[in-house]
Structure 1
Amino acid sequence: MRVFFRVDASLAIGTGHVMRCLTLAQALVAEGAKCEFICREHSGHMIEAIRSRGFSVRALSIGTRRINEKEAEPKTAHSAWLDSSWQEDAEQTRREIEYTAIDWLVVDHYALDRRWEEAVTPGGCRLLVIDDLADREHACDLLLDQNLGRLPMDYAPLVQPTCRCLIGPKYALLRPEFAQMREASLARRAAPRVQHLLVTLGGVDKDNSTLAVLAALQQCALPEDCTINVVMGVNAPWLNEVKDHAAKMPWATEVAVNVTNMAQRMCEADLAIGAAGSTSWERCCLGLPSVTVVLAENQRPVGRALQAVGASILIGLTEDIKHRLPDAYRAISGPEKLKGISDAAAATTDGNGVERLCFEMMGDGNERRDG
């Protein structure tokens, strides 16, 4: 089976879309598939990171021509993420795949919709759309929205009746190590306390939320023996400032970049402060209690849904961190509260979503399973 992924990363988009597509691609390769990526060379792209994992990437250049406003209408809410018109992107993508037999085209991009999908998807090729927004039409065979609180009916007017929709954190695209470490992580939370704190606010963190968190933590009554582990991406524009601040923290504070052992770090953490994005499901799988921050408007529903089921405490936007984090820490740091949040988080996903999606893609489409 041959699969192409159309996905981007940038300082505006972040890294999460590419990371979850890499997770799916690696799982498909393990099943014998061949996977390639098509990515635009935005500032903050992850093309070399994808290649370092053994995948071929066909790069789309930036600024080939000025976007014609009339041509680009009607726009999607995230059209600016494309840095071209959808027609130009479709033309460039078609050129990359037109002489290749493809079984699946996977699209994970908020700027693309039914128009692009109908223009690009070759005959005989099936289309998987990975989405979080339910705000535009799609011409796909399979659609995945891994977010808590999303319902199949949200996509009913946006896809064809023949489209199979996989909805909810049951299908969250997590790397295998999260499911593998789930049992051990849940076991160590039987008698919770805050000794190891994890701060992870996206691979880019363009608004410098991490520095705001570190500053606010200095107003919290953390234990003297507490350790703080900060995880950031190499393209994070405020990385050096965060490192400088970390060196002055009253608790031992490590700043790690481009880590490959996130599951281990989450397993060892007692409390996380993280973005309400795709890493929410990693924390939930491991039962890691968390305080969540909304880094983009599309994360707000996830943050609210997690709080509604007791799986996290939502403190709001970056500008809210200074005032709300100390109160959130006081509310969450007791053993009973930590255990309650851990149990609620663990109930949202078991970490086997990528296995379920691979079954849908590798099978003939006639057999279904719910496990």
Structure 2
Amino acid sequence: MNVYIRVDASIEIGTGHVMRCLTLAEKLQEQGADVRFICREHKGHLIDLITAKGYEVLVLKRPQENGMAPNGSGHTQWLGVPLSVDAHQTKELLMNCPCDLLIVDHYAINEDWEVLLRNQVKKIMVIDDLADRKHDCDFLLDQNFVQDYQNRYDSLVPSYCKTFLGPSYVLLRPEFYHQLKKQKLRTGAVKRILIFYGGIDHTNETGKALSSFLALGRNDIEVDVVVGQSNLYKMEIASICNMYEYLHFHCQIDNMAELMNWADLSIGAGGTTTWERCLLGLPSIVVSIAENQKEICKSLAKGKVITYLGEKETIEQSCLTRHLKILIENEAERTEMSRLSYQLMKDTIVSQQMMIKELMG
């Protein structure tokens, strides 16, 4: 089975889309699929990382210098070229390549793009989080927990489309399932905290969280601070961590699940990392760093799964320090968050196995 994945990373897009597609690629490869990627060479792309994982990447040429599609707005800018141009360039790459399944993970791509690729591929799968546009696809995955999540694509996909909806289908790397054997209900005092705001964090929320913790004066608590290789503030953050024995700096690591299991509490962003923390039952203080994270965070907070502070632009250091102090001192609340987090994710393994079987035909 020949599978191609159309996905991008950039300073604007972030790294999450590529990371979850790498997870899906690995699961399909384990079942015998031959997987390749199609990526545009944006500033901040992860093509080198994908090839280092052993996958061939068909590269779409670098977009205009400003990285925006002409007359683009919102997520349409993320392609860097007009929608029809991206579709035709992708089609050219696939011209002599048999494609049984084309997977698309891109907020800028919609039904118009997919229709242009229809006669070039056997089936199309879309990975989405927004439910804000129509798709011409055979499969759709939206792993998020929002109001009415089971029905919000009813008018956006064809009647024959098989949908995989909700956090039980979330794409998590194998390391997180391996750590389930060590997963624990968080009880007792907070001895270790994890700070992670995604691979890029271009507004330096990591630095804000780090300063918020230091304001507590709690040198009895160890803190793991994780950043991606593309983080523009990584040297500054590393310098701060080197000043304190109880702060531990990590850059572009492969043992995130292990760090999560070590932690008693986490501070970070919404997105895929939310589900990683939930699977391992890690209580979390969460800030949304992208528009698509807001409703998910609100829904999880309403269910008492996380402590949600709001959008990054609205969060002052003093606010984060205050909520961090409250949660550190409230064991009962942390323990209940831990229990509810894992409860939300308990069917993940079975659901994912079913989804992969469907995709493989």
TM-score (norm 1): 0.91
Matching of residue 202 in structure 1 with residue 198 in structure 2: yes
What percentage of residue pairs aligned between the two structures are identical? 36
Root-mean-square deviation (Å): 1.8
Cα deviation 1:154-207 (Å, max 9, x = unaligned):
1111111111111100100011221232242125x3x33211110010000011
Q: Which residue of 2 aligns with 1:236?
A: 231
Secondary structure in structure 2 of the residue aligned to 1:280: helix
Residue 151 of structure 2: SS of its match in structure 1? helix
What SS does the corresponding residue of 1:143 show, helix, strand or coil?
strand
Which residue matches 2:158?
160
Pairs within 5 Å for 1:322-341: 322-333=317-328, 334-341=330-337
Q: Distance in 2 between matches of 1:237 and 1:67?
A: 24
2:117 is aligned with 1:117: no
- State the 1:347 CA deviation: 1.2
Name the counterpart of 2:207: 211
Tell whether the 8 Å contact from 2:69 to 2:79 is kept in structure 1 after alignment.
Answer: no
1:129 maps to 2:126: yes
Q: CA deviation at 1:318?
A: 2.6
Pick from 74, 80, 91: which aligns with 1:94?
91
Shift of 1:337: 1.1
Q: Is this contact kept in 2: 1:149–1:305, CA < 8 A?
A: yes
For the Cα contact (< 8 Å) 1:174–1:354, is it kept in 2? no
Report the secondary structure of 1:98's partner residue: coil
**1:207 alignment partner, SS class:** coil
What is residue 59 of structure 1 aligned with on the other side? 59
Per-residue deviation, 1:245: 2.1
Q: For residue 184 of structure 1, what is the aligned residue in structure 2?
A: 182
Distance 1:354 1:230, change over 3 A: farther
Is 2:343 the counterpart of 1:343? Answer: no
In structure 2, the residue matched to 1:170 is 168
Unaligned runs of 5+ in 2: none
Shift in Å, 1:313: 0.3
Shift of residue 253 of structure 1?
1.0
Aligned partner of residue 78 in structure 2, secondary structure: helix
Give the whole-Å Cα distance in 2 for the aligned partners of 1:123 and 1:45. Answer: 26
The alignment status of 1:299 with 2:296, answered yes or no, reads no
Shift of the 88–124 alpha-carbon distance from structure 1 to 2, 3 Å rule, reads closer
Aligned-pair CA distance for 1:335: 1.6
Given that 1:105 and 1:121 are in contact with CA atoms closer than 8 Å, whether structure 2 keeps it comes out as no
Question: How has the CA–CA distance of structure 1 residues 243 and 124 changed in structure 2, closer, same or farther, with 3 Å as cutoff?
Answer: closer
Alpha-carbon distance between aligned partners in 2 of 1:146 and 1:342, rounded to the nearest angstrom: 20
| CA apart distance, 1:122 | 3.3
**Residue 5 of structure 2: aligned partner:** 5
Which position in structure 2 is the counterpart of 1:366?
none
Q: Which amino acid in structure 1 is aligned with residue 213 of structure 2?
A: L
Look up the equivalent residue of 2:92 and give its one-letter code: R
Q: Which amino acid aligns with 1:31?
A: Q
CA–CA distance in structure 1, aligned partners of residues 94 and 189 of structure 2: 53
The normalised TM-score by structure 2 is 0.93
CA–CA separation in structure 1 for the residues paired with 2:217 and 2:285: 16
d(CA) in 1 for partners of 2:304 and 2:83?
A: 40
> How far apart in 2 are the matches of 1:338 and 1:356?
32
Equivalent position to 1:139, from 128, 136, 140:
136
Aligned to 2:30: 30
1:355: Cα distance to partner? 2.7
Paired position in structure 1 for 2:47: 47
Q: Partner amino acid for 2:78?
A: W
1:323 CA displacement: 2.8
- On the 8 A contact 2:2/2:99 being kept in 1, the answer is yes
Change beyond 3 A, Cα 1:36–1:159: same
Could you tell me whether the CA contact under 8 Å between 1:171 and 1:356 is conserved in 2? Answer: no
3-state SS of the aligned residue for 2:182? helix
> Aligned ranges for residues 80-91 of structure 1 at < 5 Å?
80-91=77-88
Query: 1:87 touches 1:116 (CA, 8 Å); kept in 2?
Result: yes
- Aligned-partner SS, 2:57: strand
- Deviations for 1:46-82, whole angstroms, at most 9, x for unmatched residues? 000000000000111123699554xx7xx6x301111
C-alpha displacement at 1:317, in angstroms?
2.6
Q: CA deviation at 1:153?
A: 1.8
* Structure 1 moving runs of 4+ over 4 Å: 64-68
Q: Is the 8 A contact 1:105 1:127 kept in 2?
A: yes
For 2:93 and 2:101, the matched residues in 1 are separated by 14
Report the CA distance shift for 1:227/1:116 in structure 2 as closer, same or farther (over 3 A): same
Alpha-carbon contact 1:110-1:131 (below 8 Å) kept: yes
Counterpart residue type for residue 211 of structure 1: G
How many angstroms apart in 2 are the aligned matches of 1:68 and 1:78?
13
The answer to whether the 8 A contact 1:192-1:338 is kept is no
Q: Give the structure 2 partner of residue 315 of structure 1.
A: 309
2 CA distance for matches of 1:263 and 1:316?
25
Task: Give the Cα separation in 2 of the matches to 1:332 and 1:182.
Answer: 24
Measure, in 1, the Cα distance between the counterparts of 2:343 and 2:176.
14
